[in-house]
Structure formats: structure tokens, C-alpha cells
Amino acid sequence: MVYLDPPAAVSRRFPETPVSAASARRFVRAALDDVVPDLVDTAELLVGELVTNAVLHARTEVEVAVSRPDGRVRVRVGDGRPGRALVPRHWPPYAGTGQGLALLEKLASRHGVEADDERKAVWFELWPEGPPPPSPSPSPGWESAVPPCPCERTVTLVDVPSALESACRQHRHAVLRELTLAASTGEPLGVSPEELAAAGDINNLISARVTTALREPLPDPDLRTLRLPLPADAAPSVRALRRVLDLAEDEAGEERLLTLPALPRGRAFQAWLFDQIAGQLAGGHPTAWTVVPREPETGAAEVVPWDAGQVRGSRVPTIAADENNRIIATNGPAADLLGWAPDDLVGRKLTTLIPEHLRRRHTTAFASMLLTGRTRIVGRSVPLPALHRDGGLIPVRLYIQTQETADGRTVFVAQLSPRATTPLDVPRVPGGSAQSAEPEPGGGRPSAAPDRGGSPSGGARRMSALDRLSLLADLGAELNNTLDLDDGLRRAGRLLTRRLADWCAVDLFAEHAQVDRVCVVHRDPRDRRPDTFEVRLPVVSEESRGPLARVLRGAGPLLLTDAPPPGQAESALDRNYLELFRGLGAGSAVVAPLRARREIFGALTLARAPGGRPFTEEDLALVDDLVHGLALGVDNARLYQDTRSIAERLQRSLLPVLPEVVGLQLAARYAASSATAQVGGDWYDSFVLPQGDTAVVIGDVTGHNLDAAIAMSQLRSMLRGIAVDRQEPPAEVLHRLDLANHSLHQEATATCVYGVVKGSAQGPWELKHSSAGHPPPLLTTREGETRYLEDGAGLLLGMDPHAPRSTAVHVLPAHSTLLLYTDGLIERRDEPLDDALERLRRHAADLAREPLDTFCDELLIGLGADSADDIAVLAVRPAPPW
């Protein structure tokens, strides 16, 4: 190939090594020594980027030519890989890679590319003044499709999350660039130059194919199905890429690379990507990302880009923080829970909400997660305390998921559930989805390539009798599959918009005659943003005459053949309803009341878009049947929530205030199950006996319901009364408690440890205790030595009130920690009890010197995440004043 340059052109060839970038910059500066300094600086910067690209991606000798035609600066950078097409990345300014061509587009006056069968060259011009003519458009090969490969096969990637894919692609390029530069210095990496080159080539090809596929218009901006033509023999190169990246992750986790390791979700997505490519090239079938099982820490199956509006609009207390540990969004419920105004929290460090005794632990764990890519609490429900603005502690369950911004950064979104109000289902990140792929109505799984096109109102086919029965049954199943009202309504809304309407809205009465729009679901939410309409509505006033107001007074179902006319929008409620129709679009709609137990408590709106088949009178009977089922489900969920609220208040009122004892430190924690009912039979207690000794109690009544909580309160009260009145050895106290238990109308089966700590403020101290079938107390010395106090064991309460019981006596060394706990802290399904006790022993030993509050909170964080049982712990530490 012959390049025609002005006579003044000078050129030089550079080897395919990283040092060539610096050498090329010096060459350009020397060739332009009498040019305006600004142009020289820009030319030097751009040449460095282009030579770096050639070294990393072409891996051939690089030729740089510089000329100055008519006072302009023209630079050309050529390599010997014409088949390696240019793929502009257009990544964010702070991305660690992929900036070369983006900088060229922004800084050069003109630019383009030339190529033939042997070489290609990127050129740019810098003009000192005056508007330059436009660059050739399109530049040959600049935005052109990647050249086809021989013997191609198409790999189909189903439900690719766009934000996560972009973040993983950036990470792969950054890691491979660093490995390539490190290899050029001769640093041992455990990977051969050939394998590293093969990994780089296939990564560039995959990225180029993905970039091309993403330019295609697709119906869903967040979950896409991409079709990538790849060489049929690419599987070995993909395996090499996988091995190289696994090695890089290990190196990054050991802090031997500047690039941070990928977080768990990124690693899971990358493994799925490589499995899909290798499997399909070998003849396998596609498997959608959304149906692949994954660990909790990898986050939601359907990943959506980060949107602060979804946090602010959520009714669940939610806070989001960035990679700098700074709060970037919060909502009203979270701010109210913690005593702040939402705007006052944004911009503060996350440690503002963390108790002082846990801040060092949080900072260490957060830094460790970023540096190693390993996390202990992401994707898990963890009980811990949050710090109120007034300095008090609020027990919560924390559920964190990560989300990617559209430009590849990571955001940590945390839901805070007050400890006694944890949802039964796994919490959902606003805008995201549940932990695993959501089942289709009827219990099925999503297909590998779900049909996201079309519209239920687009065709002329009417629903058959079987379709109607199926819809009614599936609607009932969606509402009955969860006791969380918001989640159930959203599931029902997605079902209705798949089968019957283009969008739907559910409005429910709140206090003071106000109405909450609790759920708006649109079949195609890309540009509609239906969640922005989920707000508190004005009251139903005497002036309200629109269709929603009429239905909320008992009329309907009403058939609307068009949006409500502006003349009917006489009240604030009517105007708001009209805005809903204008914002989402409606050619026809049905509005029906939600009625249960002779009371109207809300309304359902179903709408179809203009141009499709409208609703008719024939649809009113079906909608009437649907709202009966929907109303029953909503009523049941509300009754459950009311019952749960009463039980939670009861449970909370039964938690005692620990006594203040000179020479003894006491701390206790209670956490309801993250997976079962919100109340149960676990309890702890401590009180001072008349002779000055301190009683300590831990117990667990069988069951996880209101009956268990009531039985627990009875046993706790009886135990206090017997212990204070009789002041007998612990074995005798438990014996009398068992006798009293048998006198109850409905006796309880329970385990319990009752102990008495004796000693003055200066010591020594001893523990007398007896156990009724309960896990043994754990004693941990200040030096980290641990032992279980297994003496004094006997039958659990409610079995045989006349069975003999014994009292054990143990010395409590100064600054040791006595831990009483319920089985929810240790027991795990399919795990031997000995292994569980050993795990508790290790955790306690590691925390032996920590303050007692930290000791308890760390145990719950480390052992109480995702526990299927309630947890109660009581810790006692002799602490002499000297």
C-alpha cells in the first residue's frame, strides 16, 4: 500500500511493545517543534492513545507519519492488521480503558481511517484556526461492521442485562490491558504470551460483535437478546480468555493489579457469557441469563440500570450508596425511620447511619469487598442495628443488592426493614427483581427467549371461556403466592398487562379518605415511567365527579371509550386521574371497584392503547370477576398485615430492659426470622434477684406464630415470679416452671436456660445454671479460649414435669463473655449440629476482645443472615471497675 503525504512528511516505525507509545509521543513532539504548543500537546496525546491501541490490539509494528500541509498538523498511525476493525467504545470519561478513539473524535479537527489488504492507518488533522471542513462521513472502517469470519456460527444471548454487560466489558478490557503491559516487562504471570494474545483477540472480537448488536433497535432497553456471529472454532480461544481472566481475578484479589476485582454479580454474568458461547458453538441451546440459578450475593436475575427515582419513589425504606461509601439517594420512609430529612442524608458518608461500635467493621468490610470482590452480606438478609439521628439504635434487617449505572459504575441499594417487620419474601431492589427468576403464572419458568413483543389489544381475537378461567386462576395464584401486598399487586399487574390490557393501575383508600395509587404497571414501560404515577392522591371530595371518584363511591364497573373529558376534571382527584390517562395513553378503559365484606376499599383501572381492540360491554363481566378475586386477595393481605402488626407490637413489648449491674456488662439482641412468620417463641430476660444476684434467662417456645409468642410471655412471667419468690437453685426453679406450665390451658413445649450470676463488683464471679433441653451456654475468655457449659442439662419443658434436673456451677473469669443463645443462631438445614457449634465457637473467639455490643452485633451479622428461625442472644461479661 502507498500512502501519499506532502513532501514534508516524516515517519518512523516502532516495535509492538508498550514503550513505543512514549517513543512515538517524543517523535511527534520533535517533528512539530516549531508548531503552536497547544497543537503539539494535542497531537502528542492522540498519538499516544493510537499507538497504545495498536500495541494492545494489532500487536504488529507501528508506523507513525507526521506532516504539516498548509499550516495544519496531520498525523497517521498505521499497523499491519487491516482485518482488525476499529470499534469505538464510547465509554464514560472515568473508565479505565477505551478512550483513544473517543478522544480523537472530540479533539481532532478531522479524522478517518485508510485500509487495504496489507495495512490500515488511522489519521487525524489539527487546524490552528478557522472552522475545518467536516471529516469524511462515514470514515471507511470507522463505524463499519466487523468483517465476517469464515465458518461463522451465531451465538444467541437471551435477556442480556445492558448495564451489567457494559460494566463487565469495561472490566475485561481493563484487566487484559494491564496484563499485557505487565507481560511486556517480563513479569511472571502464569500465562503464556500466546494464550494472552489469543485471549485478547477473542475478547476484542466478542466486544466488537456485542457493540454491533447493541446498535440494533430492540423492544426492551434493559434486557436484550443479542445474536453474535462468531468463528465456529472460537471455543478454545474463549476457554483461554476465561483462564486468563480467572488468573487476573486472583491477582486483583491479592492486590497485585491496579484494576479492582469484579464483584460477584459481574463474575456470575461473565461465567454465563462464556458458557453460552462455548456451549452453543458446540451445538448447545441458549439459556437465558434470567433463568440461570445463582448465589444470593450475585443479586437480581433481571438487572436494570440504576435510577435514583426508583429509590425515591419506593415505599420501602431504601438507601443507595456509591463506591465511595457515600449516600447518593434515599426516600422518605428511610429518612423517617432514621430521623432525617431525605435531602439532609444525600451526600453524607454511609457511616452516618452506622453505630460507632460497627463503623470500623463496616469500613474494613467495604474496602475488602472492593479490593477482593468478595462480599459477606450482599444479597442476604442481615440483622443489625442502624443509628438514629438522635443517637438511639434501631434494630433492622438489611438487604443489599448491587446495581450498575448505565455507564458501568456500581451502586449499592439497601432496604431497611424494621427488625419485626421483615417481608416474608426476599426483598426486592427498586426497579430490580427478586433473587431468582420469577415464575410464570401457573408455576412455570420463563422461557429461554420470552416473547416481549405484541400487545394484548393489538389483535382481534377475543378471550375464550378457557382463557378467562385460566386468567382468573392465575390472578388468584399471583396474589396468594406472597403475603406482601405491594409485591402481590405488582405480580397481578404484570399478569393483567400480558393477558388483557396495555396498562393497569390499582388505587386503595388510605387514612382520612385519601387514596394511594399503590401500583401502576405498563406493558412497555421504557418511555412511560409508570412508577412516577404511584403517589398519594387527593381526597375524594364532594366536587369529585370523575370515573375514579364514582367507582370509589360504589359505581361500576364503568366502560370508558375514551379518556375522561377535561370538563369532568373538576376536582384535584379528577385532574390527577386525567393526567394518568394522558401520560400512559388510553383508547378505552374499564374502571371497577374493589369490594370485600361490604366495603369498598379501592379501584382497578384497565386500559388499552389507541389503535388496538377496545374494551366492550362484553368485557365488563370478566372484569367484574377479576376485581372480586383481586379484592379478596387484597383484603386477605391487609388482614394478614394487621394481624402481623398486632403480633409485632406484642413481641416488641415483651422484650425486657436489661438491668444495670455494677461489675457486670449485659447486652442482648433479638431478630425475627427472615423467612418465616414475624413473631415466635424466642426470648431472653435478665433481672436482679432480692439477694442481689443477677438472673439470666434464654428460652425458645416451639412454633413461629402468635400462639408461640403468647406462650413465651406466659413462661417468662411465671419464671420471673418463681425465681424472685423462691430464690432456689436453678434446677428447682425450672422444675417449678415445668409444673406451672402443665397447669396452663394449652401447655407449651419449650427449651430454656436459667442461670444466676453471683459475685461482687470486684469479683470473683460464678454461674449457677440449669438447662431444659436448650443449646449449651458458651464461655469465651478474654484470650479467646472457648468451651461449652454442657453440665446441668435436662429434658425440655412440657415433657415430664417430674423428671430430675441438676444445677451446674462454673467460674466466670474477669472479662470473659458468657453467651446464651437460641438455636436460630447456629442451626442450618442439612448441617450437623457439631459443625454449627464449632462455627459459633470460632466467631466468638475472634470477637473475644471486642466491646459487648460489637460482640453481639457481629454474631448476628456473621451467623444470623438468612436465618430461617428467630434468634435471641444474651451476653454477660464480668467487668471489674479496676
Q: Where are the domains of the chain?
A: 10-126, 152-298, 308-421, 465-644, 655-878
Topology match between the domains 10-126 and 655-878: no
Query: 283 by DSSP, 3-state: which?
Result: coil
- Strand 73-79 to 120-126 pairing: antiparallel
For residues 699 and 717, give the distance between their C-alpha atoms in angstroms, rounded to a whole number: 12
- Do residues 105 and 111 lie in contact, with contact meaning Cβ atoms separated by under 8 Å? yes
According to the model, what pLDDT value does residue 435 have? 36
Shortest CA distance to 120 belongs to which of 45, 62, 75?
A: 62
- CA 305 vs CA 166, 188, 308, 413: distances in Å: 11, 38, 10, 12
Q: Does 732 have pLDDT greater than 90?
A: yes
Instruction: Tell me the residue length of the chain.
Output: 882
**Tens digit of each residue's pLDDT (9 = 90 or more) over 528-544:** 677 778 888 888 887 78
**Which strand (E) or helix (H) includes residue 780?**
strand 778-780
According to the model, what pLDDT value does residue 796 have? 92
Q: Does 140 have pLDDT greater than 60?
A: no
Q: Between 739 and 542, where is the model more confident?
A: 739
Query: 816 by DSSP, 3-state: which?
Result: coil
Alpha helices for 586-656 (secondary structure H): 618-654
Q: Between 844 and 513, where is the model more confident?
A: 844
Q: Does 218 have pLDDT greater than 70?
A: no
CB atoms within 10 A of CB 714: 18
**Tens digit of each residue's pLDDT (9 = 90 or more) over 613-664:** 889 888 888 888 888 888 888 887 777 766 666 666 666 677 788 999 999 9
| 308-421 placed in CATH 3.10.20.740 | no
Q: Does 67 have pLDDT greater than 70?
A: yes
Q: Does 718 have pLDDT greater than 50?
A: yes
What CATH number was assigned to the domain covering residues 655-878?
A: 3.60.40.10
- Strand 381-387 to 327-330 pairing: unpaired
Judged by average pLDDT, the poorest of 89-98, 318-327, 414-423 is: 89-98
Question: Angle at the Cα of 371 (from 369 to 376), degrees rounded to 5?
Answer: 20
According to the model, what pLDDT value does residue 591 have? 93
Bridge partners of residue 211, in order along the sequence? none
Judged by average pLDDT, the poorest of 224-238, 306-320, 322-336, 709-723 is: 306-320
For residues 858 and 667, give the distance between their C-alpha atoms in angstroms, rounded to a whole number: 13
611-629 as b/e: b if 16+ CB within 10 A: ebbbbeeebbebbebbbeb
Q: Between 585 and 224, where is the model more confident?
A: 585
Question: Angle at the Cα of 872 (from 696 to 851), degrees rounded to 5?
Answer: 75
For residues 529 and 668, give the distance between their C-alpha atoms in angstroms, rounded to a whole number: 45
DSSP type of residue 263: P
pLDDT level of residue 606 (50, 70, 90 thresholds)? very high
Residues with Cβ within 8 Å of 215's Cβ and at least 6 positions away in sequence, in order, are none
Residues with Cβ within 8 Å of 295's Cβ and at least 6 positions away in sequence, in order, are 264, 268, 379
- Do residues 647 and 706 lie in contact, with contact meaning Cβ atoms separated by under 8 Å? yes
**Which strand (E) or helix (H) includes residue 600?**
strand 599-608
Shortest CA distance to 328 belongs to which of 315, 309, 313?
A: 309
According to the model, what pLDDT value does residue 131 have? 53
Shortest CA distance to 139 belongs to which of 120, 118, 160?
A: 120
For residues 471 and 622, give the distance between their C-alpha atoms in angstroms, rounded to a whole number: 10
**Tens digit of each residue's pLDDT (9 = 90 or more) over 667-699:** 999 887 655 545 668 889 999 999 999 999 999
CB atoms within 10 A of CB 799: 12
Q: Does 295 have pLDDT greater than 80?
A: no
Alpha helices for 481-541 (secondary structure H): 485-499
Shortest CA distance to 64 belongs to which of 91, 26, 33, 117?
A: 26
For residues 426 and 415, give the distance between their C-alpha atoms in angstroms, rounded to a whole number: 11
For residues 591 and 581, give the distance between their C-alpha atoms in angstroms, rounded to a whole number: 12
Q: Does 349 have pLDDT greater than 60?
A: yes
**Tens digit of each residue's pLDDT (9 = 90 or more) over 837-881:** 999 999 999 999 999 999 999 898 888 876 778 889 999 999 987
According to the model, what pLDDT value does residue 417 have? 77
CB atoms within 10 A of CB 746: 8
Bridge partners of residue 601, in order along the sequence? none
pLDDT level of residue 713 (50, 70, 90 thresholds)? confident
CA dihedral of residues 811, 814, 816, 818 (deg, nearest 10): 50
For residues 756 and 728, give the distance between their C-alpha atoms in angstroms, rounded to a whole number: 10
For residues 417 and 408, give the distance between their C-alpha atoms in angstroms, rounded to a whole number: 28
Question: Angle at the Cα of 855 (from 852 to 858), degrees rounded to 5?
Answer: 145
According to the model, what pLDDT value does residue 672 have? 75
- Do residues 844 and 854 lie in contact, with contact meaning Cβ atoms separated by under 8 Å? no
Judged by average pLDDT, the poorest of 119-128, 294-303, 449-458, 562-571 is: 449-458
Alpha helices for 382-525 (secondary structure H): 465-480, 485-499
Q: Does 87 have pLDDT greater than 70?
A: no
- The CB-side HSE value for 742 (13 A sphere, CA atoms) comes to 12
Judged by average pLDDT, the poorest of 38-52, 67-81, 264-278, 701-715 is: 701-715
What CATH number was assigned to the domain covering residues 10-126?
A: 3.30.565.10
According to the model, what pLDDT value does residue 721 have? 93
Q: Helix 485-499 to helix 465-480 angle, to the nearest 10 degrees?
A: 160
CB atoms within 10 A of CB 783: 11
**Which strand (E) or helix (H) includes residue 738?**
helix 730-742
Alpha helices for 58-118 (secondary structure H): 100-107
**Tens digit of each residue's pLDDT (9 = 90 or more) over 780-805:** 999 999 999 999 999 999 888 889 99
- Do residues 119 and 82 lie in contact, with contact meaning Cβ atoms separated by under 8 Å? yes
CB atoms within 10 A of CB 301: 23
Q: Between 314 and 714, where is the model more confident?
A: 714
Question: Angle at the Cα of 388 (from 386 to 389), degrees rounded to 5?
Answer: 140
- Do residues 436 and 338 lie in contact, with contact meaning Cβ atoms separated by under 8 Å? no
Q: Between 159 and 733, where is the model more confident?
A: 733
Residues with Cβ within 8 Å of 186's Cβ and at least 6 positions away in sequence, in order, are none
DSSP type of residue 378: B
Which CATH fold would you assign to the domain 465-644? Beta-Lactamase (3.30.450)
- CA 581 vs CA 419, 465, 503, 613, 756: distances in Å: 39, 30, 10, 17, 68
- Do residues 394 and 388 lie in contact, with contact meaning Cβ atoms separated by under 8 Å? yes
